[in-house]
Amino acid sequence: MSSLLLSGGKVASSLGQVEADVLIEDGRIVRVEPRLAGSADEVVDVSGLVVMPGGIDTQVHFREPGAEHKEDLATGSLGAVFGGITTTFEMPNTNPTTTTREALEDKLARAEGRSWTNYAFFVGASAENVGELAELENAPGTPGIKIFMGSSTGTLLVPDDETLREVLRHGRRPCPVHAEDHFRLEARKSLLDPARGAGQHPFLRDEEAARLATERLIALCAETGRPVHVLHVSTLQELPMLRNAKASGLPVTCEVTPQHLTLSAPDAYDRLGTLAQMNPPIRTEEHRLALWQAVSEGLFDVFGSDHAPHTLPEKAKPYPQSPSGLTGVQTMLPLLLDHAAQGRLTLETIVRMLCERPTSLYGIANKGRIAPGYDADLAVVDPLARRTVERSWIRSKSGWSPFEGMTLTGRVVHTMVGGRFAVRDGELAGQASGRMVEFDWKP
C-alpha cells in the first residue's frame, strides 16, 4: 500500500480554509487532520500553499475524433492538469457526433491510457435519437444528454420547441443546454457587413437570441419537469429569468465562463480580433458587470471553460468565415485565482463552483471534496505567486490563449489525479492516469 502525505498547508472547501495535512493511500484520501503524525512513503511539504479539490470542468471540446489537428484527448487533458483541472466532461459535437452508444464507447476507449484527467462524455440530443435518450443517459461514462438549441450543425441541432419538448421528456438527468435561438441567428446573418470584422459578432448573436432561447427553455422545463442547465450565460437579460426560475422552485441551474467575466467588447475584439470570437459572444461591459453581480449573489452554480480550440490559421480567416471558440481549460483556475486576488470572489466560491457543485449537479462519485474516502484528485495552489500567460506555457495543440500577456496572481504548483502527480512544481510528472468518471446520480 503506497502512501503520501501533503504536510504544512491549508485545506480549502466552500466553508473556508483550515490548516491540515492530507494523507493519501492508494489514490484515496484517508485522513485530513492538523499535524498528522506517523509515517508515509513520501512526505511533500506544501507550507504556504493551499490544497483544494481538483477542478471539475464540465464543458470542454477536445475535438477527438474528427478534428485532431486542433486538439485531441491527450493534449486537451494535458492542458487541463497544468491548470489544476482533474476531471473533464467532453462535448458531443465531434465527427462523428456522439449520438449513439457506439460513438460513446469509442470515445471511452480512446481516452483510456491517454487522458491526463478523469473523463466522461456527453451524448448529444437529436431528433433521430430521441427514443434512445433515456437509455443513453444512463450508459457508463456519460454525465447525460447535451442539447444545442443554436450554434451547431447537422443532427445535433434541436432548434424548435416540439423537438426540444420530446428530448426533455425522454430522460431524467439534468440536461446542459447551449441556449441561443437558432431562428434569430439565421435571420440576422443577412445584416452582417464583412468589412467590419469580428467586432460584429455580438451584433450577429445578439442579446435577444440568448434571451429568447433561455425563455423558451425555462418554459419547457416548467412544462416537462426536466432539470435543465443553461451553459455559458452571457447577457444581463437572462439573469432575471434565471433568478425567477430558481425562486419558483424550477430545476434550473446555470454556468458562467471566465471568458465572459474577464473580457468585454469592444476592447477584446479591437485587441484580439477573431481570437475573441466565441459562442455566445464576448459582450459589452454592462453584461460583464451584471454577470459579476450574479456571481456575488450566488446565482451561478458552476464555472466552465467551454474550451473550444481552433488553430491560428483557422482563426486568421476573415470574419465570419473564422470559427468560434477559445482555449480555456488551462487558464480557467488561474484566472479565477487572479479574480480572487483582486477581491472579486473568494477561494471558497471557487471551490464551491468548480469542485463541489459539479459533483452534486451531475452525481459524480467520490470527487470534489477533501475528505476521507474521496479520490485524491487535488490542485495545490500558491494564491500569491504571479505568472504571465505566455504561449510557451499553453499545452493545447492549438498553441494559443486569448489571455496571453496577462499577469495573473495565483498559480497551480501541483496537480494530483488519483493520488499521483500529473504536475509537480509546475512541471509535467508521471504518466496519463485519468480514469472514467463514475456516477451515483439520484433524482
Distances (CA, A) of 70 to 267, 314, 399: 26, 9, 9
425 included as an active-site residue: no
Quick one: DSSP state of residue 323?
P
> Phi and psi of 424, rounded to 5°?
-135, 125
Q: Please report which helix (H) or strand (E) contains residue 339, including its range.
A: helix 332-341
Separation of alpha carbons 24 and 5, rounded Å: 6
Query: Strand 55-60 relative to strand 85-90: parallel, antiparallel, unpaired?
Result: parallel
Exposed e or buried b per residue across 192-231, where buried means at least 16 C-beta atoms within 10 angstroms of its C-beta: eeeeebbbbbbebbbbebbbbbbbbbbebbeebebbbbbb
Residues 6+ positions from 216 with CB-CB distance below 8 Å:
149, 161, 164, 181
For residue 361, give the nearest of 120, 73, 110 by alpha carbon: 120
Catalytic residue among 306, 375, 377, 382: 306
Q: Euclidean distance between the first and final Cα of the chain, in Å?
A: 37
Separation of alpha carbons 189 and 319, rounded Å: 12
Residue whose C-alpha cell is 440568448: 210
Catalogue the active-site residues.
306
